Structure 1
Amino acid sequence: MEQKKVLLAVTGGIAVYKAVALTSKLVQANFDVKVMMTESAQQFVTPLSFQAMSRNDVYVDTFDEKDSAKIAHIDLADWADLIIVAPATANVIGKLANGIADDMITTTLLATEAPIWIAPAMNVHMYANRAVERNMQVLREDGLTFIEPGEGYLACGYVGKGRMEEPEAITERVVRYFTEANPLPLKGKRVIVTAGPTLERIDPVRYISNFSSGKMGFAMAEAARDLGADVTLVAGPVSLDTPARIQRIDVESAADMLEAVLSRYDEADIVIKSAAVADYRPKHAADQKMKKQEGDAAIELERTTDILKTLGAQKTHQLLIGFAAETNDALTYGRGKLESKNADYIIVNDVTNPDGGFGNDTNVVTLVSREGEKSYPALDKRMLAHQLLTYISEKEFDHS
C-alpha cells in the first residue's frame, strides 16, 4: 500500500498527550503525518513534541505561511487522505457543526474534501450535554465519522464516558480503513500461525520453557487476518486474549504444537512459525513432584522434534515463514536456518536488542530470503507484522 497522508488536528484538552503517542504510532505504521494545533492545545504540549514525532512542520497559525507559494490551510486540506481531530473538544465540535472557521484547524476542515474523523475527549457531563449531542448528530449527518470515547477515570476526577480512544486502537482503525480500501492480498489464503513458548514438564509442578510472550506471533495472526486470510493460531501457554475472527488452538508442549500444525498442514497456504519452541525436554517426566535431595541433581534431556525443519521437509505448495530469535551472529544463524529448514523466509531478531525481543511491544527484525535481506527499524509489533506480511504477499502472490 502506498504511503497515505494523515492530517492530525489537535485541540485543547489534557488528552493532548495521547495525540503525541498517536502521532508516533501512525508514523511507525508508515503514514505521513502532519499536525495542526490550536492555541489551547499548545498550553498542554509544545509543537516541538509533534514536530519530533512526525518529522514534519507543525501548523498553529492560519496566517503563518511556511511556503509563500501556497496558502497553508488550503494546501493541507488538499494534501490529506484522512483528517483526524484528536482530541476533539466540545468547543471544536460546536464550531464544526455550525460552520465556524476562526483558526487554522477549523478553516482547514471546512476547506477539505478528505474524510474527517472525530475523537472526542471531555468531561462525562459535557459529553452528555444536549447541545454537544446535538452538534455531534449534525456532524454525523454531514458525513463525519466519530471514534467513540471510552469509559473510565477522567482527569477531572469523574468516572464515566469521555476518555479519548487509545492511540493504538485509533492507529489500528486507520490501518484497517486504508487496507479495506485496497484489494486484500491474502484474501482466500489459509494461514497457520504458531505463537508463544512451549512448556516441557519435569514433574507436575516444574517445567522447562522460555521468555516468549507470544505478542509477535499474535500480531502476525492479526495482520494475516486483516489482509484477508483465514487464520488458525496455534498458541503455547500465553496470557493474551484471542483476536477476533481467528481460530485459536491452545497447546502446551512442542509435541502438541507439531501435531496441531501437521494435522492442518496439507490445507494451509502459508505457515508462519513464530513460536519459541523448546529444543529439549526431560527424557523422563516424573509423575509426582520431585522432592529436594541433598547435593546436586541432574535431569537428562532429549531433543524435541524440529517443527520448522519437519514442515520444510514435507512442504509441497506451502509458503513457509520462520523466525530466528538469536543473541549473537543473528543474521548468520538466520541465513543458515533458511537453507537447513527449507523455509521461504526467516525473520531474524536479536533478542538482546532493547527495542526488540521477548515481552516488548516493539521489535527490530531483518527479513531474510533467497533474494536478499530487508531490515526493519524498531516498530510496534502489530505494525511490523502488517508491514512484513504486506511485503511478502506483494512478492509471492499475483494481485492483478
Structure 2
Amino acid sequence: MEIPDAGFRRVLVVGTGALSVSFLPFWINWLQDSFPAVEKRVALTRSARRFVSPEAVAALSRSRHDVFTDDWDSAPPGTAPHVELAAWADLVLVHPATVHFLSRYALGLADTPVLLALQTTRAVVGVAPALPPAAQHSPVVQGHLAALRARPGVVVAPTVPAESASTGERDDGGAAPMPELFRLCATYKNAHEKTEQPS
C-alpha cells in the first residue's frame, strides 16, 4: 500500500480496550519500520492494559517517552499531560477505538487526559472503530460515528470484516489496519492543505 507523504513528524498512538489492541505491538513495529524518522508516543487506556503489555509497546516504539496510561492519577503532580499531548502531536491514531471511547469522544467528553487532548488538539486525529457484533445496526453508534466524520480534523476509517471472539461469527466491525488508517489521514491532510492555500 502506497502512503502519501503528509509531513507527519510526531505521532501519538492511542490504544483502547478492544481485544484487537493485543495486535498493537505489531502495528507499532510497522510504524517504526515504515517511518523510522517519525517520533512516536503511545497512550493506553486502563482497559487496553488488560490485553497488551506497556513494556512491549514501549520497546518497539523506541520512544524516549514512557507509555502513558490514560488516567489522571498516572500524571505526575503539577503536570498537565493533556496540554502536552495536544500540542506535541501532529497526528493521533486511535487504534482500535472501542464504542465507549468513540462515543465519549463524539459527545465532547474530556474526563481523561487523552480525551481532553483530543478535544483540544490541532493535530489530525484518525479513528479506527472496533465494534462488537450488531453495533453497526445501532442508531446511537451510527450517530456518534457520523458526528466524528463531520468534525474537522477527524478521519474515521471504515470497519473491516473480522471474526468475533465472543460469537465466532464474522461481522463487519473489525478495526481497519493501521496502514489504512495512516493512509486516510495523510490523504486528508494533503487534500485540506491544498484547499487552504491562497489562489
- AA of the residue aligned to 1:120: P
Partner of 1:90: 99
Partner of 1:19: 24
Change (3 A) 1:128 1:105: farther
Partner of 1:318: none
SS in 2 for 1:162: strand
Query: What CA distance in whole angstroms lies between the structure 2 residues aligned with 1:24 and 1:96?
Result: 27
> How far did residue 5 of structure 1 move?
0.8
Partner of 2:197: none
Q: Do the aligned partners of 2:94 and 2:126 also contact (CA within 8 Å) in 1?
A: yes
Q: Do the aligned partners of 1:37 and 1:105 also contact (CA within 8 Å) in 2?
A: no
Which of residues 51, 73, 80 is equivalent to 2:82? 73
SS in 2 for 1:132: helix
Query: What CA distance in whole angstroms lies between the structure 1 residues aligned with 2:137 and 2:150?
Result: 18
Q: Do the aligned partners of 1:38 and 1:104 also contact (CA within 8 Å) in 2?
A: no
Query: What CA distance in whole angstroms lies between the structure 1 residues aligned with 2:17 and 2:173?
Result: 14
Which of residues 32, 35, 48 is equivalent to 2:42? 35
Which of residues 24, 45, 58 is equivalent to 2:52? 45
Query: What CA distance in whole angstroms lies between the structure 1 residues aligned with 2:108 and 2:13?
Result: 19
Which of residues 171, 174, 180 is equivalent to 1:163? 174
Listed one character per residue, the Cα deviations across residues 194-213 of structure 1 (whole Å, up to 9, x for unaligned) are: xxxxxxxxxxxxxxxxxxxx
Which of residues 93, 99, 111 is equivalent to 1:102? 111
Change (3 A) 1:153 1:37: same
Query: What CA distance in whole angstroms lies between the structure 2 residues aligned with 1:178 and 1:142?
Result: 14
Partner of 1:396: none
TM-score by length of 1: 0.42
Q: RMSD across aligned C-alpha pairs, in angstroms?
A: 2.5
Query: What CA distance in whole angstroms lies between the structure 1 residues aligned with 2:124 and 2:102?
Result: 15
Relative contact order, CA 8 A, sep 6+: which one is greater? 2
Structure with greater helix percent: 2
SS in 1 for 2:171: strand
SS in 2 for 1:122: coil
Query: What CA distance in whole angstroms lies between the structure 2 residues aligned with 1:28 and 1:59?
Result: 22
> How far did residue 182 of structure 1 move?
8.9
SS in 1 for 2:135: helix
Q: Percent identity over the alignment?
A: 26
Alignment of 1:54-69 (within 5 A): 54-56=61-63, 57-60=66-69, 61-65=71-75
Alignment of 1:355-370 (within 5 A): none
Change (3 A) 1:78 1:48: same
Alignment of 1:318-329 (within 5 A): none
Q: Do the aligned partners of 2:24 and 2:52 also contact (CA within 8 Å) in 1?
A: no
Max Rg structure: 1
Q: Which runs of 5+ in 1 are unaligned?
A: 184-400
> How far did residue 154 of structure 1 move?
2.5
Structure with greater strand percent: 1
Q: Which runs of 5+ in 2 are unaligned?
A: 195-199
Change (3 A) 1:158 1:104: farther
> How far did residue 55 of structure 1 move?
2.0
